[in-house]
Amino acid sequence: MLSIINEINGFDHSGINKHGTPAIFGMNFQSVSTAQKLNTSTTPEHPTDPTQTGGYTDNGKIPGPVLQSALHFVDDSLGQMQAAIKKNTRIQANTVVILSAKHGQSPQDRSKLIIINDGTMIDTLNAAWAVKHTSALLLVAHAMDDDGVLLWLNDRSKAATNFAKNFP
């Protein structure tokens, strides 16, 4: 968020080099998405209490403490960006802020949340590949997951892609 404020003020993201203010800004807050999915965590308000509830409470009616904290963080960050825009007289009259959100990524009913251990899944995929292939490299070079998993494979052959795609 500080990088966007630096850019609003005409600097690069680091705030060191003056480049002028970009015409378009874009960013993404992941804190709400993450807070919806966590069972428990700490928050900046209670950094030593890792037992605070994530997601929703009261049968999905009320954001839990972790989600409330994330929503406050986003709200405060947007307020700081808006204040920086108002201070920059060159851009304040012609700047539009568009705020949107993608779908919720966790059920409001905590009992319906299923968290899959991606490490176990990737280890199992690599082990199954190793049974049939003698390469020293694991099949999965890198993985990034959220609601779905993106896999980068060391072996980029059609056979490896099909193996990963069709793995149970």
Give per-residue pLDDT as tens, 92-141: 888 888 887 766 667 777 777 777 788 899 999 999 999 988 877 899 99
Same domain, yes or no, for 71 and 94? yes
Query: Does one domain contain both 18 and 49?
Result: yes
Per the domain annotation, does 113 fall within a domain?
no
Average per-residue pLDDT in the chain?
A: 89
Based on the fold, state whether residues 96 and 137 are members of the same structural domain: no
For residue 150, which of 131, 133, 165, 132 has the smallest C-alpha distance?
165
Same domain, 87 and 127: no
| pLDDT band at 9; cut points 50, 70, 90 | very high
Count of domains for the chain: 2
Instruction: State how far the alpha carbon of 7 is from the alpha carbons of 15, 20, 22, 80, 92, in Å.
Output: 7, 8, 7, 13, 14
**DSSP code at position 102:** -
Contact 106, 64 (CB under 8 A): no
- The pLDDT, as a whole number, for residue 29 is 85
pLDDT value, residue 117: 80
Q: Supply angle C-alpha 79, 83, 84, rounded to 5.
A: 120
Statement: residue 147 has pLDDT above 70: no
Q: pLDDT at position 103, please?
A: 62
Residue 97 lies in a domain: yes
Mention every residue, 6+ apart, whose C-beta is less than 8 A from residue 84. 5, 8, 9
Residue 59 burial (10 A CB sphere; 0-12, 13-18, 19+): exposed
Residues 67 and 145 reside in one and the same domain? no
Determine the structural domain holding residue 143 and report its residue range: 118-166
Residues 47 and 85 both lie in one domain: yes
Asked whether residue 12 falls in the same domain as residue 72, the answer is yes
Answer whether 95's CB lies under 8 Å from 81's CB. no
Please give the pLDDT value at position 132: 87
Q: What is the signed CA dihedral for 100, 105, 111, 117, rounded to 10 degrees? A: -150
pLDDT in tens, 53-97: 998 888 888 999 999 999 999 999 999 999 999 999 988 888 888
Query: Are 125 and 88 in a shared domain?
Result: no
